[in-house]
Chain A
Amino acid sequence: MESKSVEILLVEDNPYEAELAIRGLKKHNFANNLHHIDDGADALDFIFGRGKYANSQADTPKLILLDIKLPRVDGIEILRQIKSHEKTKSIPVVVLTSSKENQDVKACYELGVNSYIVKPVDFDSFAKAVADLGMYWMLLNTAPPR
């Protein structure tokens, strides 16, 4: 599993939330090469090929969907590290969170987030939002050259 190229990295600690997001993406066939991590530190290891991911040959993902509240390392710190490393800073990061708090939105944009989406409570809207962002980032948007 680690060797195959990962297109979308989903960092989300709530397994049910993750299941719903994956379901939304799957409906439009964006979830084929999706990897789900439920812990902030593990996510950093994965992105930077460290720790238990040190030997994986996986490419950096094409898109990172990031929650803000995460165990061990929070989403904002992950975003900061991604955007401050030469190798990872061009990966599009979409923060997908329940928080509409100004401080979070402001912090994420200051760190260079590519998109900030507040998850709607209504599942239909949520599914549509997830599908739309898959559509936009995976199909419409031209990824930076590797």
Chain B
Amino acid sequence: MPASSCQIQDLIAPANSTKIMRLPFEKVLIGFFVFVTIAVIGLAILNYQSNRSYYRSVAAVDHTNEILKLNAKALSTIQDLTVRSYITTGDSALLSAYLTSSRSLEGYMRQLRRFTADNADQQLLIDSLDYYTGERSAMARRYLALYDAHQLSDTVLSDYTAASRTGMLAIKKLSARIAKNEEKLLAARTALTRSNRERFDVSIELVFVVIVLLLIGCTVAVIHYIRQRKAFEQDITKLNMHLQKKVEELRSANQELESFSYSVSHDLRAPLRIIDGFAKIVSDDHADALNDEGKRFIETIRSNAQRMGMLIDDLLSFSRISRKELAIREINMNALVENVKDNLMLIDKPRATISIQPLCSACCDDHLIRQVWINLISNALKYSRKREHPEVAITWEQTRTEIIYAVRDNGVGFDMQYAGKLFGVFQRLHKATEYEGTGVGLALVHRIVTRHSGRVWAESSPDCGATFYFSLPKHLN
């Protein structure tokens, strides 16, 4: 047996070691997934932010371009803010072009001012631009008035041309400075847009990296668990095979035991009967030829043959009861014990009084538990029969899980230091000459109760009676 339990340990060991291996792997896996989750959240934030700042910088670039366009428009409009062509040609279409420019310039300037509201430098430049534009506009109006009053002369006209050119020069310079400022801004904003775009691209690339990592992680985990599962399956198959082998071994051992007890039953009893039989014949038919000593020897032969017969019978019933399959059903314990008591009173006619407390019913094999009661009660009767008033009391109690029955007597009792031997086969605490018996009864009780998953124990002290307890589980399947 120790060898085989060792083998089972060996078989279980690999399963255990894979279990130990699994722990760090799972920790790594959990760590990995936590990392991936954090990375995904971080990337999402980064992505969102870089995306936003990218679009913001794109909008800023657009804004700057818009200002540049406006600036250009404004410049060309300012250029048109002259009545020189009209007053030299007198073409009314040119006058209306001047008027249109003068009207739309107001809008452009307002827009330009609004668009650069966040830029004090540009505002200052625009203020100057406004001033020169105002000058130019005023000059146009003045010359227009002169034209209307027909007070224009070539000198006046060339003065206008010169003044207009000077004004326009300053205006162009201003406009160029505004444009230059905006272009500087545009360059900076375009660079920012490019870097934002790059940041966004990097964050998208990182998302791909994380997805690939996630896929690799999942694949590794799946492969690992598939391998582990296969290893477990192999272990289980191995254990099952081992178990199957053990079952076979057990079965054959059981069969051997069966044939053993069968042949014991047949072959050992017959010679004993013959010994006893012929000894009896000698004492019956040839008593005359024997002296008293011879007759005593014959009786010794007979009594020992008979005792050995009893031992064999008890041993066989012990092995038979051990092998018998349990037939569990609910038993009316009271009726059973009353019946056992009646039978014992009928056979042994003891002087004892047997008191039975109303007993709780239990689930058990009634044939086997009957044997337990017979053995315990007849034991109690046997060891109390030398008392003046032998008494046997049968009681019960229960715990949460079991029902405990007790048989108490006021007999000779026993020393608790030998209690360990009580339930062993052929173990006796009293001499055969004092109390007959083979020492199988309590072993049988022990075997039957154990087979019911119950417990059996005893309490006693010499000359103070003994109490034998046995328990049956409340839920016996």
Do A119 and B265 touch across chains, with their CB atoms under 8 A apart? no
Do A101 and B309 touch across chains, with their CB atoms under 8 A apart? no
Interface membership of chain B positions 237-271, coded 1 if the CB is closer than 8 angstroms to chain A and 0 otherwise: 00000000000000000000000011001110110
Q: B residues within 8 A CB of A127?
A: 277, 280
Q: A residues within 8 A CB of B320?
A: 100-102
Chain A contact residues, CB within 8 Å of chain B: 14, 16-17, 20, 23, 68-69, 97-102, 119-124, 126-127
Q: Which chain B residues in 188-230 approach chain A with CB under 8 Å?
A: none
Asked if B281 CB lies within 8 Å of chain A CBs, one says: yes
A102 to B276, CA, bound (A): 26
Which residue, B270, B278, B308, has most C-beta atoms of chain A within 10 A?
Answer: B270
Q: Which chain B residues in 298-324 approach chain A with CB under 8 Å?
A: 302, 305-306, 308-310, 312-313, 316, 320
Do A16 and B266 touch across chains, with their CB atoms under 8 A apart? no
Which residue, B272, B273, B316, B320, has most C-beta atoms of chain A within 10 A?
Answer: B273
Do A121 and B305 touch across chains, with their CB atoms under 8 A apart? yes
Do A16 and B262 touch across chains, with their CB atoms under 8 A apart? no
- Out of B267, B277, B313, name the residue touching A16 (CB < 8 Å): B277
Do B273 and A119 touch across chains, with their CB atoms under 8 A apart? yes
Number of B interface residues in the complex (CB < 8 A) = 26
Interface membership of chain B positions 309-343, coded 1 if the CB is closer than 8 angstroms to chain A and 0 otherwise: 11011001000100000000000000000000000
Q: B residues within 8 A CB of A17?
A: 270, 273-274
Do A126 and B266 touch across chains, with their CB atoms under 8 A apart? no
- Out of B266, B272, B274, B302, name the residue touching A69 (CB < 8 Å): B266
Which residue, A23, A97, A121, has most C-beta atoms of chain B within 10 A?
Answer: A121
- Known contacts A14-B274, A121-B272, A122-B276; A100/B281 CB under 8 A: no
**Chain A nearest Cβ from B350, distance in angstroms:** 23
A124 to B270, CA, bound (A): 14
- For B309, the closest partner residue in chain A by CB is A121
- Known contacts A98-B269, A100-B316, A122-B309; A20/B262 CB under 8 A: no
**Chain A nearest Cβ from B247, distance in angstroms:** 22
Do A16 and B316 touch across chains, with their CB atoms under 8 A apart? no
